[in-house]
Amino acid sequence: TLNQYVSDVQDKINVSFEFFPPKTEEMEHTLWQSIFRLATLKPKFVSVTYGANSGTRDRTHDIIKAIKSKTGLVAAPHLTCIDASQEQLKQIAKDYWDNGIRHIVALRGDIPAGQPNPQIYAADLVKLLKDVADFDISVAAYPEVHPEAKSAQADIDNLKRKVDAGANRAITQFFFDIEQYLRFRDKCAAENINVDIIPGILPVSNLKQLEKFAQMTNVHVPNWLINMFTNIDDDPETRKFVGASVAMDMVKVLFREGVRDFHFYTLNRAEMSFAMCHTLGVRP
């Protein structure tokens, strides 16, 4: 029966949600409404970004603490290493551990324009964190290859270094080309990268915003997607339906391909992520 299907699936699927520190009081209100709504889906963890576009570490840390105390969820701060010394990073890690934070999303961070290549990469941060304590660590992966990587193989080798240093899972950059993700997942398996390569799902409702994100990250926006959003710039209602339809199709195909862990870039809104979870059978 459908009920049986839903409850079988519910036990197998893990979802996680990513938020960013809000910039205004109004955005903060939206964030908390979203967190409380999505918390009913019992995510495996929720994460909060950190860095240039989202303010200081303190803001990330404050939200993480508040999520933990208000919802009891596993709350994972993102941490970048290019903008701090090794000593500072160790101190930050100790503080997190002492505050009961056990899961960190370990990243290098983007190099500010005009700065030389960094001395430290995410693999080094994973090792540093593991030296401080036995954190649960997520790292980033790039199905369409990180823009700075020398080659696709070099980028996979880098992911392997991060996993060998102790990362427990990888979360991908967002993508729309599912074939590309599946090939990437196969390549990781062939290289003995034995952790989940969790797809990072970005719900789209606005092509202009998407094109901005995609340009920053070198993610390919396929023509079919551009076509879907053409001529509806001034029609938010249709954009919402179209975006929802694209998102539902995507999670359904990934599920059919055996994906059981999903990470949602919520953009601090619950609606689309909640609906995708519902489609997957993940319900309150």
Nearest to ligand FAD of 182, 197 (CB atom): 197
Q: Tell me: does residue 199 bind ligand FAD (CB under 6 A).
A: no
Total residues found in the chain within this entry: 284
Is-catalytic flag, 18?
A: yes
Q: Tell me: does residue 83 bind ligand FAD (CB under 6 A).
A: no
- In the region spanning residues 137 to 196, those forming contacts with ligand FAD, defined by CB under 6 A, are 140, 146, 148-149, 154-155, 158, 162, 171, 173
Nearest to ligand FAD of 79, 207 (CB atom): 79
* Structural contact between residues 130 and 166, judged by C-beta atoms closer than 8 angstroms: yes
* Structural contact between residues 60 and 50, judged by C-beta atoms closer than 8 angstroms: yes
Q: Tell me: does residue 61 bind ligand FAD (CB under 6 A).
A: no
Q: Tell me: does residue 78 bind ligand FAD (CB under 6 A).
A: yes
Residue 119: exposed, middle, or buried by beta-carbon count in 10 A (0-12, 13-18, 19+)? exposed
Residue 146 CB, nearest distance to ligand FAD (Å)?
3
Q: Which residue is nearest to ligand FAD (CB)?
A: 51
Residue matched to tokens 């489609």: 279
Neighbours of 98 (CB within 10 A): 9
In the set 73, 107, 214, 244, which binds ligand FAD (CB under 6 A)?
107
Q: Tell me: does residue 133 bind ligand FAD (CB under 6 A).
A: no
In the set 59, 74, 102, 121, which binds ligand FAD (CB under 6 A)?
121
Residue 268 CB, nearest distance to ligand FAD (Å)?
13
Reported as type and span, the H/E element at residue 124 is helix 122-132
x/- contact string, 5-34, with ligand FAD (CB under 6 A)? ------------------------------
* Structural contact between residues 199 and 254, judged by C-beta atoms closer than 8 angstroms: yes
Identify residue 241 by its one-letter amino acid code. F
Number of residues that bind ligand FAD (CB under 6 A): 24
CA distance 280 to 132: 37
Q: Tell me: does residue 266 bind ligand FAD (CB under 6 A).
A: no
Write down the catalytic residue from 18, 25, 26, 87: 18
Residue 269: exposed, middle, or buried by beta-carbon count in 10 A (0-12, 13-18, 19+)? middle
* Structural contact between residues 15 and 262, judged by C-beta atoms closer than 8 angstroms: yes
CA distance 274 to 255: 16
Question: Nearest to residue 105, comparing CAs of 162, 43, 35, 49?
Answer: 49
In the set 17, 19, 45, 50, which binds ligand FAD (CB under 6 A)?
50
State the residues that interact with ligand FAD by CB under 6 A.
Answer: 49-52, 78, 80, 105, 107-110, 121-122, 140, 146, 148-149, 154-155, 158, 162, 171, 173, 200
Residues annotated catalytic, as ranges: 18
